[in-house]
Amino acid sequence: MTNAVDASYAAGLALQTTTQAKGKSNLGQQDFLTLLTTQLQNQDPFQPMENGEFLAQMAQFSTVSGIEQLNSTLSGIGDGLGAFRTATAASLIGKSVLVPGTLVRADSTGTVRGAVTLTDPAEALVVTYSNSVTGELLHSQTFGAQNAGDVGFAWDGVPSSLVSSRVPLRVSVTAASSDGSVPLAPKVYARVLSVGTSADGKSTVLEVEDKGNVAADTVTSFR
């Protein structure tokens, strides 16, 4: 028993020296191998390690090795998926995605589109469109009673001069109920200009007209 304790103590000292020299606190493959080798070198030759105990430690070593290889493989897959997501998102360039905001530009057909989320039912919903440069009111829409949830809206009569010059419009949405009128934060369809990755390289970012960079995973609708 004394020799076994001495062997374990010697192995521990060797392992401590190795980990201190490397400046780390976690066991790696090489550390595990050092521990096992030291135990074998310091064991009592008349009472050597049992085969079962030796095989158990080798199994632990294989498990550690397998986990590290699995982590490396998963990391590689993650990097590949990141590139795949960016390549897939590139197909959105030139299309429009639904993002939070009040500025919206008409498409080639002279239409602007958006949506708003109602947390409570509304007796009426009023959507107004104005010239974001001059402030001129261009159009107003009044919708009847609406249930809670997402409500889409669109205006297909944007003046041709604003369509050709691509002057952005400003959208304002108000919900009316017995308690009064409440301004809401709309979402609008805006054009994707380019696609890239975040600073840490882990996520895909869309450059959206008038909105700047938008995380691709926050986009729920496009057209």
Start-to-end C-alpha separation, the chain:
75
Average pLDDT, the chain: 78
pLDDT higher than 50, residue 4 = no
Question: By the 8 A CB rule, do 109 and 156 touch?
Answer: yes
How many CA atoms lie less than 13 Å away from 51 in the CB half-sphere?
Answer: 0
Identify the pLDDT of residue 128.
97
Distance CA 23, CA 117 (A): 54
pTM: 0.62
Contacts of 109 (CB under 8 A, 6+ apart): 156
Q: Rounded CA gap, 151 and 125, in Å?
A: 9
Question: For residues 163 and 121, is the Cβ–Cβ distance under 8 A?
Answer: no
pLDDT at 31: 67
Q: For residue 208, give both structure tokens.
A: 């959206």
Confidence grade of residue 81 (pLDDT, cut at 50, 70, 90): very low
Specify whether the CB–CB gap between 170 and 74 falls below 8 A: no
- Please tell me which of 19-33, 45-59, 76-90, 156-170 the model is most confident about, judged by mean pLDDT: 156-170
Pairwise CA distance, residues 34 & 28, whole Å? 10
The span from the CA of 182 to the CA of 164, in Å, is 34
- Does the pLDDT at position 197 exceed 70? yes
Q: Which residues contact 136 (CB under 8 A, 6 or more apart)?
A: 130
Under 8 Å between Cβ of 101 and 211: yes
